[in-house]
Each structure stands twice: as C-alpha cells, then as structure tokens.
Homo-oligomer: A and B are copies of this chain.
C-alpha cells in the first residue's frame, strides 16, 4: 500500500460552554452537517466531503478546549500494532481502549496522552457515508455558511514538543514538513508541523509552558475566494474574528481565524503544497517568525500566539 499506517485526522472533540450557540456556529457559520446526538448530549458533525460519519464532536462543559483528537489508521491490524508500539515507546501515558460504539458508528479507539499533554486517539473503523460514489456532482446542493470540504488539522500548544514530535515521527510514522527553531544555532524546536499524508500538516505543535492547550481546529476550503466569503460571513453573522484573510509563510496556506461562541479558535484555509516524505523539512528561524506565521504583515501577533483554550 502506498498510504499506510495513520491515514488522517479523523475527529476532534471540543468542549463548548453552551451547546445551542455552539451548534448554530458550527452548522450555520462554519457549515458542518449534524449527523448524530448521543445519550450524553454530545453532538457529532461532519464536513460535506468527508465519507466518515463525523469529524467534530461537541460536548457542553464548564470550560472550552479540546478533549481529544483522533486519527484514522488503515486497518484493525495497524491499530493493534500501533497501540502496542505507542505503549512500548515510553512516550505516551494513560493508554487505554475505548469501546466500539462509544462514538456512534465507530469501532474501538486507542487513546493515549502525548508528552505535550494532549489526548490522542487511533481508530480503524468508522462508518462511511454511502452517498456520492456513483456519477457524483462536484459539490452538493444546500451548502451553508463557509462550507469547508473537510476537517483538516489541529494546532496544539504544550511543553514537551520534542517528546511529542518523537512519538509522531518515530512511532506513528509522521513526517516533519516544517519546523520553527529558536536559539543562536536553531537548537530549540518551538514549532512542529507534522503530516501523515500529502498535506502540509495533519497536526502541529507549538512549545508553550503549559500542557494540553488548544490553539485551533482547521477546516479546508477550496480557494482564496472562499476565504473572502468566509471573512464576509464572519462579519455578516457577527462572529469574533481573530485574524485574516491572510497567508501563512508556514505551509503557504491562505487563511482566516475566528472564534466559536465559547472561545475555541477555528481556522478555514485553502492552498498549501503537496508534501512527500522525502521532501526536505522546511525550517523557519525565529528571526523570521513574524513572516513564518503571517506572511503579509510579518509581525508577531500576541493575541494569535497566546489566546488558547
């Protein structure tokens, strides 16, 4: 197989302060599709071009933030192998299996805590949506809001970025597509953009004193015109804008950031490049950090860097 092991970001589970405003945001502003609710009151949503049952899970809680992020692997066999390797790596803690069905239409999930303090899951089975594979149109009717095609990646903040990167590269088979380094000799890794695919990133980490902080969940748009449409919707719907439209130096993405009603940051973006594992890691030095993050204004933005959930 040419794509093996970990295939993609499969879901992100977010805590929201009030479910109804959050749902309105994720369905009407962002434009995800609700696919299920469960007995605990969790709501499951997906983007229009995903064939999996759900990619976003919302749960009402006292504080916003991310509960966990899950990755789909290519088979049950791979799931067992990777679970064992994660446990044996000494890089993960709190390893446990979540029973099949705990997420609707989803098989067993293996959950573990990575060195930066985030809970990560692996799973092999999630029921696919059966529409759209016979003479399909290029896009469906009845799209709402920004209408991203997919959940794309998360950016997470935590302390032991070195350990987390080691786990993702050495155990889970990710590539380091881009990195930000600091110090006179670039000896400290302060940002890591990791991919298990041809995408420029599937998950990214920024060094930060606290463990387990959430910077943003990102969703994929088709092009720069859709970024403008997203920006317009942010204003029309009176959503809290963070920054954008602009471009990242890192990954080249054209982007806009905003907040859900609970303060969790969302991104929608387009563009980037095709990554291959033999592509040299792109390195950004801290003297160019402004340009690395926001290519156009080339300034460090304190709010963007430090507002977390």
Contacts and interface: CB of A to CB of B under 8 A. Distances in A.
A246 interface: yes
A2 B196 contact: yes
A253 to B, nearest CB: 9
Contacts of A7: 2, 276-278
Contacts of A285: 134-135
Given A2-B6, A3-B197, A232-B138, A72 B278 contact: yes
A223 interface: yes
Interface stretch (A16-24, A30-38, A101-109, A233-241): A233-241
A137 B231 CA distance: 12
| Chain A binding surface SS class | loop
B174 A2 contact: yes
A281 B197 contact: no
Interface in A41-85: 49, 51, 72, 74
Contact of A173 (B1, B274, B291, B292): B1
A296 B138 CA distance: 11
A15 to B, nearest CB: 27
B281 A2 contact: no
Contacts of A280: 51, 128, 130, 133
Interface in A248-290: 249, 252, 254, 256, 271, 273-274, 276-285, 288
B295 A232 contact: yes
Q: How large is the interface on A (under 10, 10 to 19, 20 to 34, 35 or more residues)?
A: 35 or more
Interface string A116-150: 00000000000010101111111101000000011
A210 interface: no
Contacts of A232: 137-139, 247, 295-296
14 contacts: A2-B175, A3-B198, A3-B276, A8-B276, A49-B274, A134-B283, A135-B291, A138-B247, A138-B249, A198-B198, A224-B225, A228-B254, A241-B296, A245-B246
Given A134-B284, A141-B236, A199-B274, 12 more contacts: A2-B6, A2-B173, A3-B198, A4-B5, A135-B288, A138-B232, A197-B274, A222-B271, A223-B223, A234-B296, A235-B295, A241-B296
